[in-house]
Structure 1
Amino acid sequence: MRPTTPIRLSALALAGALTLGACSDVSTDEGSATTAATEDTSATAGPDGDAADGSAETAGGAPDQAAVTVDTDDMPDPVAEVNGEQISKDTFLAAFETQRESARQQAEMGGMPVDETALRDDVIELLVDTELLDQESERLGLTASTEEIDAELEALVTQAGAPSTDELLDLLAEQGFDEQQVREELERVVLIDKLVAERGGVEDPQEQELKDYYEELTGQSADDEQVTADPGGAPAFDQMRDMLADQLTQEREIASLTALLEELRQDADITTHG
């Protein structure tokens, strides 16, 4: 099963997916609401998670189906090869354990068990995609400067609603990401943006597209000047315009990235052993 764009992208980023997934826990209420409304195409959707004892209960207390677990000791090394480059078991385990912990946290809230077999396969496919993008970046001679990585980090601080860079890094460290890992993931975000640009970039959303998107999300007319009269209603279009433009642009970047990955996979020699 191919990973969803979400696992990839939370920072856009296939590469920043794990980092962004961690940041979603500290994002603002407004950002979370927007993500929830649009993540059919871009969310970091991983499996739901499992309970510590291998089972889960519904909100009413009734037992749900048993979780499917994976014994990582039985995983081969390497777990995959991509054009002759190996993806090691250690690399897999680092990503898998992070995703599994996130899934377990979701299970506690949602009462649904995680299918660790599906999670294992998703993580392997994610790592294959990441390796393909790394190889393509190297082939094209693309690099990310320290300044570009710093800019992505500052953007991540804003997105997460963190008071400062240091506090964001502390939060990420609590979830298993040290600063070097964060910067490596953000380097990939920069490179992914450059790969998308190499394909011609994406068009900026037009005004009518933004209005249509607003109406789709809110059920309200973008031209309704009375929309703010109802304190329980959605913000007016003008208040959400920039946020909607960012979201539509990201969706187009994801579509371009997905198309690139499909092309790279067609020409690649990929073997997985999971």
Structure 2
Amino acid sequence: MRKNKWLLGLAVSVSVVGLAACGGEDGGDSSEETSAAAEQSPGAEAGQDGKPATDDIPDVVAEVNGDKITKDDFVPLYETQYQQMQMQSQQSGQQVDEDQLKTQTAENLVSTKLLTQEADKRDIKVSDKDIDKALEESAKSSQMSKDDFLGAMKDQGMDEKKVNSEMANQLKIEDLITDEYGEFKVTGEEIGQAYEQAKTQQEQMAQQGGQQQEVPELEEMRPQLEEQVKSQKSTEATQKFAEKLRKQGDVTINL
């Protein structure tokens, strides 16, 4: 079974995180949170719709080995990340550093482009069935139907064709990492460490909420913990390989 949610820095996965964060809440509440966050962040130049100013973004944000990353590629991802950070700023009181976020967004897109270029060199392909299954999983993780998920993505500037394209890239990269590093193994010690971390986090959340909640036994959580450790290893390997390709490639960022 594919685990497309393992990957970081991709337009779809970032948007999925944002949708999942508000999927179980009333949409009006989310808008109120975004507006409140904008009011608490006087340095952020957001419009009334909670979106950042993007007029200064160049038409070609970056070039990667001759391939262009355009403003149209950049803006939906940047706006999604910005709105998430605006909501977080309501809790932390820290305003969004737009320049840093722009750079981070561009770097994420460059990494994605480098990895997909390498996947294409290795003739790694994914089927329409793989893409459809991954979309179903993403919608489910966001507590939405597939149609509602695609509608929400469209609201974020990504039509169905763009979503399918980004999901295909995501799956290609997963297969590329498997091709490069093989299947990731998980030791009993790693599962034990993940369990202790999960236990500590759950206990802290219970204390903050004023409720005592019993933590499941390790064996009950083992499948989930094993996937979590694999996810961490896959993410680390993806970032490592992207850095390697970056050093070997010809990359120009125009921000």
Q: What TM-score bracket applies, with the shorter chain setting the length?
A: 0.7 to 0.9
1:245 aligns with 2:226: yes
Aligned 1:17-96 pairs, distance under 5 A: 17-26=13-22, 51-53=37-39, 55-56=40-41, 66-67=42-43, 69=45, 72-96=54-78
Q: In the alignment, what sits opposite 1:224?
A: none
**Unmatched tracts of structure 1, length 5 or more:** 1-8, 30-47, 57-65, 221-229
State whether residues 107 and 114 of structure 1, in contact with CA within 8 Å, keep that contact through their aligned partners in structure 2. yes
CA–CA distance in 2 between the matches of 1:121 and 1:19? 18
Q: In the alignment, what sits opposite 1:149?
A: 131
State whether residues 83 and 268 of structure 1, in contact with CA within 8 Å, keep that contact through their aligned partners in structure 2. yes
The percentage of counterpart residues that share the same residue type is 29
Once the 2 structures are TM-superposed, how far is the Cα of residue 185 of structure 1 from its aligned partner?
2.2
Q: In the alignment, what sits opposite 2:213?
A: 232
Aligned 1:86-235 pairs, distance under 5 A: 86-162=68-144, 164-219=145-200, 232-235=213-216
More RCO (CA 8 Å, sep 6+): 2
Q: In the alignment, what sits opposite 1:261?
A: 242
Once the 2 structures are TM-superposed, how far is the Cα of residue 264 of structure 1 from its aligned partner?
0.2
CA–CA distance in 2 between the matches of 1:161 and 1:74? 35
Q: In the alignment, what sits opposite 1:32?
A: none
CA–CA distance in 1 between the matches of 2:153 and 2:74? 19
**Unmatched tracts of structure 2, length 5 or more:** 26-33, 46-51, 202-210
State whether residues 184 and 234 of structure 2, in contact with CA within 8 Å, keep that contact through their aligned partners in structure 1. no
RMSD: 3.0
CA–CA distance in 2 between the matches of 1:174 and 1:76? 22
Normalized against structure 2, the TM-score is what?
0.76
Normalized against structure 1, the TM-score is what?
0.72
Q: In the alignment, what sits opposite 1:14?
A: 9
Q: Secondary structure at the match of 1:112?
A: coil
Aligned length in residues: 228
**Matched residue type, 2:38:** A
Q: Which moved more, 1:103-112 or 1:233-242?
A: 103-112
CA–CA distance in 2 between the matches of 1:173 and 1:85? 25
The CA deviation string for residues 53-79 of structure 1, in whole angstroms up to 9 with x for no partner, is 5x53xxxxxxxxx42557532333322
The CA deviation string for residues 35-57 of structure 1, in whole angstroms up to 9 with x for no partner, is xxxxxxxxxxxxx999435x53x
Once the 2 structures are TM-superposed, how far is the Cα of residue 135 of structure 1 from its aligned partner?
1.1
Once the 2 structures are TM-superposed, how far is the Cα of residue 155 of structure 1 from its aligned partner?
2.2
Deviating beyond 6 angstroms after TM superposition, the runs of 4 or more aligned structure 1 residues are none
